Structure 1
Amino acid sequence: MTTGETLLVLAGSVLGSLLAGVLMSSSGASVISVGIAALIGFDVLGGAVCNGTQTTRAWYHRPGQNWVHHVAFVAPHLAYVILVATLMRGSSFDGRYALIFSVGLVGASAVILCVSDRLKTPVAFSAYLVVLSSITIGVGSTRAMGWFEPALLLKLLLGHLLPNGIPPTKAV
């Protein structure tokens, strides 16, 4: 990773963590929720910047990488969806939010991974808009975490799954 890329990723991570923590704190949330929001902000916002770098794209789309590797990267991020649904969307678990977000993310990822290389980018952008709209219209964005849904989808669907400029892997 170049020095410039490293500095951008670190800045995105630190600023993302601060932004997420301050927004959550100003909403009157518990210290635990503030800490979790700050950690999620560090990874999701910093990770979105990281996934936009040529170095990271080249790494995740190098020869030998396939759909299994991409799914293995996307799947653990569902833990953030569950954390947000459990701790930050009211007094009890928001199952509808978790379901809409998780099914949308997994389904969109599968479609992006299955289409031809020529269609990956427009399909990914379309999927991003459909999933984000489904969450926003279906259950609404998360109080004090309005950045979370668009940023996680950006990090994974438009950042991680698209090679952009790197010779793409074959579609599944």
Structure 2
Amino acid sequence: MSRAIGDMLIAPEATRGETVTAYATAAAGAVLAGLISAHAGHGRPVVALLALAGFDLFGGTVVNATASAKRRFHRPGRTARHHFLFVAGHVHPFLMALLVPGFGWGAAGAVYGLAVTGALGVLATPAELRRPVAFAVAALASTVSVTLLAIPVEVAWFAPVLFGKLLLGHILPE
């Protein structure tokens, strides 16, 4: 893979270990999400969508936890607004509602709302409490999403991994 693509998907100056770990996890997430979706009887378009979502979310969770991504996303000049917009730009729940049978618009709105309000809460927290608050928000949001929302079992992984990627990986500095 070219260095430019690696810089875009992972981060500039990513180490070999970071790169291998991120791509291996992304590939495993894609395979796992695709197999689960196929086993649930979804057609090829949905299987492909979920495999792509698995690649992005599982891989992105690892990428956002790397030192190189932390240097990129938390460099001087980056503000809470940048971090919030990164989270807000993850409209994946609405794509799920559009394309995955049984993943309703209400569940999509709830997952998206949990992510963006969670991000606002974490970003508003004093720096010394940001990490424990992020973990609290991610744990609570994950529990709500897998127990109280009507989300098909084959995509029960989606919201917890999304929260990990955004609230624990992206928002938190090193």
- Whole-Å separation in 1 of the counterparts to 2:65 and 2:48: 26
Paired residue secondary structure (2:90): helix
Paired residue secondary structure (1:144): helix
Task: Specify which structure has the bigger relative contact order, considering alpha-carbon pairs within 8 angstroms and separated by 6 or more residues.
Answer: 1
Contact kept in structure 1, 2:123 and 2:171, CA below 8 Å: yes
With normalisation by structure 1, the TM-score equals: 0.88
2:159 aligned residue: 149
Correspondence list, 1:18-57, <5 A: 18-57=31-70
Identical pairs, percent: 35
Select the residue among 118, 122, 128 that pairs with 1:108.
Answer: 118
Measure how far apart 1:112 and its partner are: 0.7
Structure 1 residues without counterparts, runs of 5 or longer = 165-172
2:75 aligned residue: 62
1:79-133 deviations in whole A, cap 9, x for unaligned? x10122232242xx61220121111111000011111100100110111112112
1:14 aligns to 2:4 (yes or no): no
Select the residue among 131, 146, 149 that pairs with 1:139.
Answer: 149
Paired residue secondary structure (1:12): helix
Cα distance change on mapping 1:134 and 1:89 into 2, 3 Å: farther
Structure 2 residues without counterparts, runs of 5 or longer = 1-13
Measure how far apart 1:58 and its partner are: 1.6
Residues matched between the structures, number: 161
Structure 1 runs, 4 residues or longer, greater than 4 Å off: none
Select the residue among 88, 99, 121 that pairs with 1:87.
Answer: 99
How well do the aligned residues superpose, as a CA RMSD in angstroms?
1.4
1:54-87 deviations in whole A, cap 9, x for unaligned? 1111211111100121122112212x10122232
Contact kept in structure 1, 2:93 and 2:108, CA below 8 Å: yes
- Whole-Å separation in 2 of the counterparts to 1:103 and 1:109: 10
Select the residue among 71, 74, 88 that pairs with 2:84.
Answer: 71
Contact kept in structure 2, 1:132 and 1:149, CA below 8 Å: yes
Contact kept in structure 2, 1:120 and 1:162, CA below 8 Å: yes
With normalisation by structure 2, the TM-score equals: 0.87
